Chain A
Amino acid sequence: MVAPSVWAIIPAHNEASRIKSVLLCTKKFVSNIVVVDDGSQDNTAQVSGKYALVLKHAINLGKGAALKTGCDFAVAHGASVIVVLDADAQHKPEDIPRFLKELKGADIVFGCRGLNKKMPLILRFGNWFITSLTSLLYHVDIPDTQTGFRAFTSSAYKKIRWDASDYSMESEMIARVGKQKLRYKKINIETLYPDRYKGTTVLDGIKIVLNLIWWKLAKG
């Protein structure tokens, strides 16, 4: 078990069938776990409530908003380090100690997936394109910008706190890291796909690309 000032934030939307295993495994490494139930219509909140503190959004706002709720709550309750991961068992909580180890000497640690042949070609291309554009615009060199498994300090969170309420938040976080010149590290993680590939869609990808350009032009 790691220090009590480490908090895990898990945004969840209709993940009642998978979240239990994620929480049970995460509990081995982090004592403070917050699940943000983002307007689920199943019993995600009830299942999660047995293993973690649950913050419930009355309606579905999106991953960015859910993570922001969890991170704001954690920071307000004394968190010094925040680990964020997905609720659908894509990420292995066993990697959390590696994140925390790498966070020494960095403000944020990004989890990066290896090449996964199960991911549809269009999404692989989209990920490559967004990654290349991010590197070009923000000089942050991360081979996978769309993985939600990350760890950062609370002081870094105050600098990267995103506005996006949807999946764009992953990219906005990186954009802010680049603009704020924060120290970052990356580690390879294994990503599991227990079901079909879900998450960012092609439309989300187009929105992310437009946002990346917009943030570069608009934000200081």
Chain B
Amino acid sequence: MVLGVQVAGVLFGIFMMYYTFLKYKKKEFSSSEYLCWMVLWVAFVLVSLFPNWLDPLVKSLNFVRTFDFLVIIGFLFIIGMTFYTYTIVNKNKKQVEEIVRTLAMKGKK
């Protein structure tokens, strides 16, 4: 029997596949980026439909339920992405500041 949470997971995965496809068509993603993200979303959909595929891994890591395992993985992913985003934003901020300041001084006096 398919649970509601599985349906939500599948719908989310399909929506993200569509969104990734749009980004690729708008040439915002390269082919390799597109492929990487699509593999991730397909894996997400498959794991949503067949969570028992993860049983060997879940048991070896001593998680009681597959759901617990996915929640922990989700948190770790979010923390990692937040840190990654922070470093990128910080780097971009410094670069923008440098460009704006250099342009302001360029050609004066």
Contact = CB atoms under 8 A, between A and B. Distances in A.
Nearest to B109: A77
Interface string A117-136: 00000000000000000000
Interface residues of A, number: 16
A65 B100 CA distance: 10
Interface string A33-70: 00010000000000000000101111101000100110
A57 B100 contact: yes
Contacts, number: 34
A73 B97 contact: no
Interface string B66-109: 00000000000000000000000000010011001101110011
A55 B100 contact: no
A32 to B, nearest CB: 10
Contacts of A72: 101, 105
B93 to A, nearest CB: 8
Nearest to A69: B101
Nearest to A56: B104
Contact of A65 (B97, B103, B105, B108): B97
A55 B97 contact: no
Majority DSSP secondary structure for residues of A touching B? mixed
A188 interface: no
B26 to A, nearest CB: 25
A207 to B, nearest CB: 15
Contact of B105 (A55, A58, A61, A165): A55
Interface string B13-53: 00000000000000000000000000000000000000000
A121 B105 CA distance: 40
A175 to B, nearest CB: 20
B109 A59 contact: no
A56 B96 CA distance: 14
Contacts of A65: 97, 100-101
Interface of A: 36, 53, 55-59, 61, 65, 68-69, 72-73, 76-77, 165
